[in-house]
Amino acid sequence: MLARIFLTTIFLIAGLASAAPTEDCPGKYRCNALKTAVEVRDVIGWHLAAQCAAATCEKDAHSDVPYCHDSAVGNL
């Protein structure tokens, strides 16, 4: 009986841990490594969302959403 409760607890914890969101959840945005573009994450991986005119990608101080801090932004 105790072993059954233990195994049930282990499976429950493992299931909750695997269902927990990670840092790479779909719908998240980030600046690319060169700070020249904003990227968006989907179930396949990271993709270009907007290209900056220069290395001006930065996160908004209040919302943590990245954006191009220049006037010539080409959205795709």
pLDDT digits (tens, 9 = 90+) for 43-55: 889 999 999 988 9
Domain boundaries defined on the chain: 23-75
Q: What is the pTM of this model?
A: 0.59
66 touches 59 (CB < 8 A): yes
Cα angle 41-57-32, degrees, rounded to a multiple of 5: 40
pLDDT 10s digits, 30-44: 999 999 999 999 988
Higher pLDDT, 31 or 9: 31
